[in-house]
Amino acid sequence: MIPILYDQTEAKFSSMGLGYLTDSISCLVTEERNGSYELEMTYPASGIHFADLQLRRLILAKPNYYDDPQPFRIYAISKPLDGIVTVNCRHISYDLSGYVCTPFTALGIQQALSGLTGNSISSCPFNFSSTRSTAAAFNVTVPSSIRSCMGGKTGSLLDIYGGEYHYNKFNISLENSRGEDRGVVIRYGKNLTELKQEENCSNVYTGVIGYYASADGTVIQGHLVNVEGTFDFTKIITADFSQDFQTVPTIAQIDEKTASYIKSNNVGVPEVNLTVSFIQHDTSDNTDYLTDNSGVFLTTNTDNILISYQKGVNTAVNLCDTVTIYFEKYGINATAKCIKTIWDVLLDSYDSVEIGDAKSSISSTISDIQKKTDTAVEYSAMDKAILLATQLITGNKGGFVVMRDSDGDGFPDEIDIMDAPNVNDSQKIWRWNKEGLGYSSTGYTGNFGTAITSDGHIVANFMDVGELNGAILKAGVIQDKTGVNYWDLDNGIFHMGLSEYFTVQPDGSVMIGNDTASMKLVMSADKISFYDNGIEVAYITNKEMHIASAEFFTALNIDNGIDSDGYYQFHMRSNGHLSLNYINK
Contact (Cβ atoms closer than 8 angstroms) between residue 420 and residue 426: yes
- Binned at pLDDT 50, 70 and 90, residue 551 comes out as confident
Say how many C-beta atoms besides its own lie within 10 A of residue 379's C-beta. Answer: 14
Phi-psi region of 368 (alpha: psi -120 to 50; beta: other; left: phi over 0): alpha
Instruction: Say if residues 183 and 173 touch (Cβ distance below 8 Å).
Output: no
Alpha carbon distance 77, 50 (integer Å) = 11
Q: What average pLDDT does the chain have?
A: 79
Least confident of 118-132, 325-339, 343-357, 444-458: 325-339
| Alpha-carbon distances, residue 204 vs 47, 177, 261 (angstroms) | 54, 27, 15
User: 170-184, 250-264, 311-325: lowest mean pLDDT where?
Assistant: 311-325
Q: What pLDDT score was predicted for residue 38?
A: 97
The per-residue pLDDT for range 499-531, each reduced to its tens digit, is 446 677 777 777 777 666 778 888 888 889 888
Q: Work out the average pLDDT over 100-115.
A: 91
Query: For residue 363, what pLDDT band results from cuts at 50, 70 and 90?
Result: very low
Of 155-159, 364-368, 499-503, which gets the smallest average pLDDT? 364-368
Cα distance between residue 162 and residue 132, in whole Å: 9
Phi, psi of 359 (to 5 degrees): -105, 150
In angstroms, the CA 531 to CA 526 distance is 16
Beta bridge partners of 237: 208
Of residues 367, 370, 345, the one with CA closest to residue 75? 367
Query: Tell me, what's the pLDDT at 73?
Result: 97
Is residue 469 pLDDT above 90, yes or no?
no
DSSP bridge pairs for 236: 207
Comparing 87 with 292, the larger pLDDT belongs to 87
Residue 147: phi and psi, rounded to 5, are -65, -35
Q: Is the pLDDT of residue 179 over 80?
A: yes
More confident residue, 242 or 331: 242
| 430 in Cβ contact with 437 (< 8 Å) | yes
Give the C-alpha separation, 135 to 161, whole Å. Answer: 8
433: CB partners within 8 A, 6+ apart: 406, 413, 414, 415
Residue 192 — very low, low, confident or very high, per pLDDT cuts 50/70/90? Answer: very low
Please say if the pLDDT value at position 395 is more than 70.
Answer: no
